[in-house]
């Protein structure tokens, strides 16, 4: 698995579960995004991926990490974009080995999940 999630903190606000953590990258990037499996984290008291539009990722190396919730906790995707040589939209990272700037990056995650009912 190319993306590994580690939880830093989790808390509830009465309606939702908030989760913060870090993501470590290794191996190769797959075009259209790599899978981020959150189902292996028992502290996330939810059986559904983050609510659409309430999860984001950030890094320090200048790449743009975009989280896409999947249909299940083990089917989330992360797409990575990099600044191109000319102005305009950031192109997606090419398929292949992750650059060292990404594998050494500090990538943070924050998501809001529906509580178990």
Give the model's confidence band at 103: pLDDT under 50 very low, under 70 low, under 90 confident, else very high.
very high
Query: Is residue 102 helix, strand or coil?
Result: helix
Would you state the pLDDT for residue 48?
83
pLDDT band at 44 (very low <50, low <70, confident <90, very high): confident
Rounded to an integer, the average pLDDT of 48-73 is 88
Residue 85 has pLDDT above 70, yes or no: no
Which pTM was predicted?
Answer: 0.86
Please state the domain extents for the chain. 3-114
> β-strands 16-25, 3-12: how paired?
antiparallel
pLDDT of 8 > 90? The answer is yes
Average pLDDT over residues 21-29: 95
């Amino acid at each position: 698995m190319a993306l590994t999630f580690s939880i830093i903190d989790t808390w509830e606000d009465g309606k939702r579960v908030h989760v913060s953590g870090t993501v470590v990258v290794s191996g190769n990037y797959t075009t259209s995004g790599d899978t981020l499996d959150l189902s292996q984290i028992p502290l996330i008291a939810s059986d559904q991926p983050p609510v659409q539009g309430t999860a984001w990722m950030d890094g320090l190396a200048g790449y743009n990490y975009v989280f896409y919730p999947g249909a299940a906790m083990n089917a989330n995707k992360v797409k990575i974009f990099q600044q191109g040589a000319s102005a305009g939209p950031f192109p997606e990272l090419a398929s292949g080995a992750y650059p060292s700037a990404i594998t050494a990056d500090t990538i943070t995650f924050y998501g809001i999940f529906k509580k178990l009912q």
